[in-house]
Amino acid sequence: MSNLLNISSSPHVRDNSSTKSIMWCVIIALVPASAFGIVNFGFKALILIAACVATCMLTEFVWQKAMKLPITVNDGSAALTGLLLALNLSSTFPVWMAVLGSVFAIIVVKQLFGGLGQNFMNPALGARCFLMVSFAGKMTSFTYDGVTGATPLAIIKNGDKAASIADILAAGDGQTQVSTNVINMFIGNIGGTIGETSVIAILIGAAYLLVKKIIDWKIPVCYICTFAIFVLLFGGRGFDITYLVAELCGGGLMLGAFFMATDYVTSPITPNGQIIFGVALGVLTGIFRIFGASAEGVSYAIIICNLFVPLIEKITIPVPFGKEGIKDGK
């Protein structure tokens, strides 16, 4: 009798991870970027983070209570949405607007489509785009060291094509007092949103997620590499490493690649699909940044690609082993 096999329904391979553990791992991974943002931008950044996290959690609780749905606020997904939204905002962004964006993220993007696992786009990015459309002036106003001015990406975008990137970064755009360099962009001593400025802090969190196997390398690596190739080919500056590094370190590319493009719900689960997804993100971000009117484009690129995930998964689904999986006799 001991040699008998036990038969059970799938899945046959199980993992100890839960939604709650995964969400809190991502929150922990965002602690370095959040802490640096608070140190870099001061108490206002802390207030904004707290407001977004609290609003998202409260909104989810009230909605589920009113709709007589299971209360899932303790799984950490609402808190993560609030944290990601806050990290994508300027420290000077009005708190009431951030609260409005948080409510939009939870109710419109997440709950109206069935809650966690059913949303068709990343709730935090959906809310960011909503705020960008509604309050464009406030969303593009950044202050660093008490000076309001353009971000390094905007400086590069508006810079003289004939000048070197080093000169442009050192001199600013002639209309602001922003002065920076690539090293400062890597460390994070620049203006921008709360969580996007420090590449070091973002990479520390990304390394934690990769080691814990919460995320896979395919999407972020394909995204960043494709964008880098696109910039070198179409950036108009040839093989300018300084320009390339500035584009990689500036804006929300790193934060988006590791923390939002890898969202389980809105990214492909097939290996080939993840590669296609990452490549598409890199191309779209390159198009928006280089040929678009704005210096940034990460949020829109991720949201657009989120919409194509069902199609990507459909064309990349593995063929079942055996002749039954062969289609049309091929």
Per-residue pLDDT of the chain (330 residues; tens, 9 = 90+): 455 555 555 555 555 667 888 999 999 999 999 999 999 999 999 999 999 999 999 999 999 999 999 998 898 899 999 999 999 999 999 999 999 999 999 999 999 888 877 888 899 999 999 999 999 888 887 776 655 666 777 777 666 554 555 655 565 544 333 344 778 888 888 888 999 889 999 999 999 999 999 999 999 999 999 999 999 999 887 788 888 888 898 888 999 999 999 998 889 999 999 999 999 999 999 999 999 877 788 999 999 999 999 999 999 987 776 555 555 545
Q: How does 211-249 read in b/e, with b if 16+ C-beta sit within 10 Å?
A: eeebbeebbbebbbebbbebbbeebebeebeebbbbbbb
Which contacts of 172-178 are long-range, i.e. CB under 8 A and separated by 24 or more positions? 175/149, 175/150, 176/147, 176/148, 176/149, 176/150, 177/147, 177/149, 178/144, 178/147, 178/149, 178/150, 178/151, 178/152
Nearest to 77 by CA among 109, 47, 48: 109
| pTM for the model | 0.85
Residue 179: the pLDDT is: 40
Distance, in Å, from the CA atom of 116 to the CA atom of 281, rounded to the nearest integer, reads 23
DSSP 8-state symbol, 120: S
DSSP 8-state symbol, 178: -
Distance, in Å, from the CA atom of 180 to the CA atom of 178, rounded to the nearest integer, reads 7
Helix (H) or strand (E) holding 149: strand 147-149
Residue 297: the pLDDT is: 86
Residue 16: the pLDDT is: 63
Q: Are residues 166 and 260 in contact, defined by beta-carbon separation less than 8 angstroms?
A: no
Distance, in Å, from the CA atom of 298 to the CA atom of 125, rounded to the nearest integer, reads 9
Amino acid (1-letter code) at residue 197: T
Nearest to 313 by CA among 261, 280, 279, 276: 276
